[in-house]
Amino acid sequence: MTAPKTLYDKIWDAHVAHEAEDGTCLLYIDRHLVHEVTSPQAFEGLRMAGRKVRAPEKTIAVPDHNVPTTLDREKGIDNEESRIQVEALDRNAKEFGIHYYPVSDVRQGIVHIVGPEQGWTLPGMTVVCGDSHTATHGAFGALAHGIGTSEVEHVLATQTLIQKKSKNMKVEITGKLKPGVTAKDITLAVIGATGTAGGTGHVIEYCGEAIRDLSMEGRMTVCNMAIEGGARAGLIAPDETTFEYVKGRPHAPKGAQWEAALAWWKTLYTDEGAHFDKVVTLRAEDIEPVVTWGTSPEDVLPITGVVPSPEDFTGGKVEAVRRALDYMGLTPGQKLTDIEIDTVFIGSCTNGRIEDLRAAAEILKGKKIKVKRAMVVPGSGLVRAQAEEEGIAQIFQDAGFEWRLAGCSMCLAMNPDQLSEGERCAATSNRNFEGRQGYKGRTHLVSPAMAAAAALTGRLTDVREMM
């Protein structure tokens, strides 16, 4: 009998193309997603060395970081450098013969939303992208992680990645979530509990009843932020929810291939008794709607809390908290619900899917925003189209939100969607780092429902008061 394996062990073992004596492996890559920011130097490297893309049929590109999200974007990109980057991807996709969704395609959107939506991401695959939020695809039980540009070039040229196996970490969320608590609150609560380096060197498998109960959209939100907890990747074992989501997608297997795939996918779970190097367990009942108050995703508290003091911490974190409070313009002891918000951003690869927009619209329906500005940036053209069909777009617009085209937008503010100095934003994105959403901009990470609640009151708000 073979030793019990974790889900990660199984996917890893199925993809080792070569193993050296010291354990350094060539891991075969099933899907390589590409965007315009981290790929130009990689394609240039191929060109200089006279190399081709080894598996263009497994390589999918879409511009997302730089693209404008305003309705007039067909007129082109004003910023010259952004334009050059997107044009470089246009050219590289064509020259190297890879799948491509240009800005003009209705399927264009954030790479981590487009991949699953088009059925490129399937259970048991290895998926990489020059983007740390590649962890998103782990929601399908795919081993998915971010890589640097040199590794992008390596995968383009060889379809493999040089890797050593990470450790196994289990994050179990037992029981059922309370009303008003979402996947975003789970993932932030986990980071709050483990810290931003808690997962370093590990691949996390999320499990437990609260995870099982999540939709694919929710699971993607959870896995998306595995990287914020330092983990190389996050995984959720595929189940009926997964198969249901995948079935019928443009690039999902069909007919006899579907049956064969399904038979293998059903073997992708952690065996009884498999070893985890680290285990973290949270009770779903204990998780409240949360917000971040600082400049690291681990700076997270229930919305009912107060801003902490540097003295509440130890070691290097004391100075980091002092700096964060200064940057964020907050005072220890201040109630989180007293923090006034200027701007609300709903979107990103963390929370730019249809379910996220529905959750926000549910809170906004028939009401008006009190913040200075609010925008919704759907994660893809298809999410946008679906939201329009469901009447959600109208709810946002009636409430006073700007209804944008798809892209990364204000999550990292590489396009014109940016915060100004001191502007305070409740955002459904994934990073509250200094300057992330704009120079000296202040970010509070929240769920879509919490973002909607903040938009209505003009301050951080417990969404449960509105339900």
Partner 1 sequence: MEKFETFTGIAAPMPLVNIDTDMIIPKVFLKTIKRSGLGVHAFDEMRYDRDGNEIPDFVLNQPAYRKAQILIAGDNFGCGSSREHAPWALADFGIKVVVSTSFADIFFNNCFKNGMLPIVLPQEQVDILMKDAERGENARMTVDLEAQEITTSEGEVIKFEVDAFKKHCLLNGLDDIGLTLEKAAAIDSFEAKARAERPWV
Residues 149-178 that bind partner 1 (CB under 8 A): 149-151, 153-154, 157-160, 162, 164, 166
Query: CB 2 → partner 1: shortest distance, Å?
Result: 17
Residue (409 or 461) nearer to partner 1, CB = 409
Measured between alpha carbons, how far is 171 from 212 in angstroms, rounded to an integer? 13
Measured between alpha carbons, how far is 31 from 120 in angstroms, rounded to an integer? 7
Residue (77 or 214) nearer to partner 1, CB = 77
**Selected binder of partner 1 within 115, 124, 218, 441 (CB under 8 A):** 124
Q: Is 153:42 a contact under the CB 8 Å cutoff?
A: yes
- Sheet strands side by side (includes 373-377): 402-403, 373-377, 343-347, 424-427, 442-445
Residue (209 or 319) nearer to partner 1, CB = 319
* Residues 256-285 interacting with partner 1 (rule: CB under 8 A): 257-258, 260-261, 264
Nearest to 445 by CA among 321, 299, 329: 299
Q: Is residue 230 involved in binding partner 1 (CB under 8 A)? A: yes
Letters for 336-375 (x = contact with partner 1 by CB under 8 A, - = none) are ----------------------------------------
Q: Is 296:320 a contact under the CB 8 Å cutoff?
A: yes
Residue (70 or 258) nearer to partner 1, CB = 258
Measured between alpha carbons, how far is 191 from 301 in angstroms, rounded to an integer? 11
Q: Is residue 13 involved in binding partner 1 (CB under 8 A)? A: no
Span from 274-282, 310-318, 343-351, 386-394 in contact with partner 1 (CB under 8 A): 310-318
Indicate the DSSP class of residue 364: H
C-alpha distances in Å from residue 391, one per residue of 70, 344, 354, 361: 20, 20, 12, 9
- What DSSP element (H or E) covers 258? helix 255-265
Measured between alpha carbons, how far is 96 from 69 in angstroms, rounded to an integer? 27
Report the amino acid identity of residue 217: E
Counting residues that bind partner 1 (by CB under 8 A) gives 81
Residue (343 or 443) nearer to partner 1, CB = 443
Measured between alpha carbons, how far is 11 from 123 in angstroms, rounded to an integer? 9
Measured between alpha carbons, how far is 207 from 236 in angstroms, rounded to an integer? 7
HSE-up of residue 99 (Cα within 13 Å, Cβ side): 17
Measured between alpha carbons, how far is 27 from 356 in angstroms, rounded to an integer? 34
Q: Is residue 122 involved in binding partner 1 (CB under 8 A)? A: yes
Q: Is residue 51 involved in binding partner 1 (CB under 8 A)? A: yes
Q: Is residue 146 involved in binding partner 1 (CB under 8 A)? A: yes
Query: CB 204 → partner 1: shortest distance, Å?
Result: 12
- Sheet strands side by side (includes 202-207): 233-235, 202-207, 167-174, 278-283
Q: Is residue 232 involved in binding partner 1 (CB under 8 A)? A: yes
Q: Is residue 20 involved in binding partner 1 (CB under 8 A)? A: yes
How do strand 167-174 and strand 202-207 relate by DSSP bridges?
parallel
Q: Is residue 48 involved in binding partner 1 (CB under 8 A)? A: no
Q: Is residue 22 involved in binding partner 1 (CB under 8 A)? A: yes
* Residues 85-114 interacting with partner 1 (rule: CB under 8 A): 85, 88
* Residues 423-462 interacting with partner 1 (rule: CB under 8 A): 431, 433-436, 439
C-alpha distances in Å from residue 283, one per residue of 233, 252, 446: 22, 35, 20
**Selected binder of partner 1 within 143, 414, 426, 453 (CB under 8 A):** 414
**Selected binder of partner 1 within 40, 68, 115, 407 (CB under 8 A):** 40
Q: Is residue 26 involved in binding partner 1 (CB under 8 A)? A: yes
**Residue 408 marked as a ligand binder:** yes
Residues annotated within the binding site for [4Fe-4S] cluster are 349, 408, 411
